[in-house]
Amino acid sequence: MKDDIVAIATPLGFSAIGVIRLSGPNVINIVKRVFSPRRNKDLEKVSSHTLHYGNIIYKDEIIDEVLVAIYKAPNSYTGENMVEIFTHGSPIILEEILKILVEEGARIAERGEFTKRAFLNGKIDLLQAESINEIIRAESKTALKRALSKLKGEVSKSLRELKSKVEHLRIYLEASMDFPEDVEEREREDWLRRLEEIKREVSYLLEKAERGDWIKGGYRVILVGRPNVGKSSLFNALMKEDRAIVTPIPGTTRDYIEGELYLSSGHLVKIYDTAGLGIPKDILDKMGMEKTEKILEKSNLILFVVDGSGEISEEEINLFEKIRSYQNKEIILVINKVDLPQKVELSVFSEDIEKIFVSAKEGIGIEDLEKAIERHISSQELEDGIFLNVYHREKLKEIYQFCEEGISVLINLPQSLDILGDILYDMEKAFGEILGEEVSLDIADKIFANFCVGK
Ligand code: GDP
Ligand code: ZN
């Protein structure tokens, strides 16, 4: 990593200012050759973290009036010498200065290359590097907060603590490895307790990662019910716009429609209007229903909609019972069409189910429904959600399995301390990979490829 990289760090388009960023051993010298400071000073001699006013001049022509920030290794974002040039925010100026800097010897940076250098120079670990992208892309306040906590190293810290617990256990174990028959029962029980504790903590982390997922992707609320009960009308009422087609013909919504809602609490909610579930009349119906079942699986909260002005059919009750039998799904029973005379017999549903009465058509009870959704979200303790990418999630699942194997070895093969030692070693290694200590450049590259240029 000895070359000098350059990129435009602000989005292309017209703006008040634009920023060009450089990193590498010679970047101060490169900029010095095209920058004419107002006060005659030598950029290579100024101190780190200073700002300098002047012109970018190329072939005797002033390109722009700029501010130049100098950061010296190792106290910069990347850990290398860095320069940031603040220009006027014209794409023409930015492109021109970029071209000049390339002619002076800098190379156009790849996506995420600045952050990758920060990672490779030990300024941040892999999880922190990734959080920078998550901060930029955060779609809600909650997502931003979680990404910032990851940048501060809170996720890394819990992983590092777990890793060192594994390491300690392995060291104890190694001390007894040569004489496994001398290991006392008390000692073995202690190891077992430690391993079980690690397993528990890994499983907490996995749960938190799941919560992190839906902080990022939104809390998924799905509207389900037999055709014509008013799901699409309710979707529109929640979205406050006419997005789903509402018609008196059953089965209009054959696919599903997704809408995004930002609650005042800062949470992102994704609402799905689905094809009515029931007995399919044709192949399109059938496909729609299959899709519905797929998103049902991924949803966090189910709004089971019934028509209060009609009677509940046998089929509807069966559907309701089927949905209730899904694990980990929260359900609200929404009784729609309260503006009409009510015929519905609610005693067919169990008493403990939460019920909300609405009229999608007249806008009655919609706020209550929103509040109920909020309540379900806040009961999820999402504030502790963490962001883990799929590779790291898989690693963590692997670690969980190692825990189970280790426990089983301790119980069933108490003399085979060497096997247990190997398992613990693999666990440490897996933790190291998540933290980027054991550089798996493959994963690192995949992560940085998602970055925008200039980060
Ligand atoms: P879906 O098949 O469950 O999506 O139901 P739709 O939203 O397409 O509505 C079916 C029919 O019920 C339409 O004619 C709607 O205008 C009507 N409808 C929906 N909600 C209400 C309501 O709250 N009150 C009344 N009176 N009619 C409604
Ligand atoms: Zn519909």
Q: What Å distances lie between residue 140 and 235, 263, 264, CA to CA?
A: 21, 10, 11
| 337 Cβ below 6 A of ligand 1 | yes
Q: Crossing angle for the helix pair 126-137 and 141-151, nearest 10 degrees? A: 160
Q: Is the pTM of the predicted complex or chain greater than 0.95?
A: no
Question: What is the β-pairing status of strands 354-357 and 330-336?
Answer: parallel
Closest residue to atom 20 of ligand 1, CA basis: 230
As a whole number of angstroms, the distance between CA 144 and CA 360 comes to: 33
Amino acid 129: pLDDT = 82
User: Six-digit token pair at 386?
Assistant: 């963490």
Closest residue to atom 6 of ligand 1, CA basis: 230
Is the pLDDT reported for residue 283 higher than 80? no
As a whole number of angstroms, the distance between CA 404 and CA 196 comes to: 8
Sign of CA dihedral 148, 152, 154, 159: positive
Instruction: Collect all residues with Cβ–Cβ distance below 8 Å to 129 and sequence separation of at least 6.
Output: 112, 115, 116, 118, 119, 436, 444, 447, 448
Query: CATH 3.90.10.10: does it fit domain 5-125?
Result: no
- Residue to mutate, 223, 224, 228, 304, ligand 1, most ligand atoms under 8 Å from C-beta: 228
The whole-number average pLDDT for the span 160-165 is 93
Closest residue to atom 22 of ligand 1, CA basis: 337
Report residue 54's pLDDT band, with 50, 70 and 90 as the boundaries: very high
Report residue 288's pLDDT band, with 50, 70 and 90 as the boundaries: low
- Residue to mutate, 361, 364, 366, ligand 1, most ligand atoms under 8 Å from C-beta: 361
| 252 Cβ below 6 A of ligand 1 | yes
Instruction: Collect all residues with Cβ–Cβ distance below 8 Å to 87 and sequence separation of at least 6.
Output: 17, 18, 19, 20, 56, 64, 66, 93, 94, 97
The architecture CATH gives domain 220-383:
3-Layer(aba) Sandwich (3.40)
Assign 11 to helix, strand or coil.
coil
Amino acid 363: pLDDT = 93
Please give the distance of CA 194 from its chain centroid, rounded to a whole number: 30
Q: Which of 161, 196, 163, 165 is nearest to 433 (CA)?
A: 163
Amino acid 304: pLDDT = 94
Q: Tell me what ipTM this predicted complex has.
A: 0.99
pLDDT tens digits, one per residue of 100-116: 999 999 999 988 899 98
User: Six-digit token pair at 89?
Assistant: 């925010």
How many Cβ atoms are within 10 Å of 142's Cβ, its own excluded? 23
The residues spanned by each domain of the chain are: 5-125, 220-383
As a whole number of angstroms, the distance between CA 306 and CA 313 comes to: 10
Q: Amino acid identity, residue 294?
A: K
Whole-number Å distance, alpha carbon 266 to ligand 1 midpoint, is 30
Whole-number Å distance, alpha carbon 363 to ligand 2 midpoint, is 17
| 339 Cβ below 6 A of ligand 1 | yes
Q: Which of 192, 201, 169, 164 is nearest to 421 (CA)?
A: 169
As a whole number of angstroms, the distance between CA 67 and CA 19 comes to: 10
- Residue to mutate, 229, 232, 233, ligand 1, most ligand atoms under 8 Å from C-beta: 233
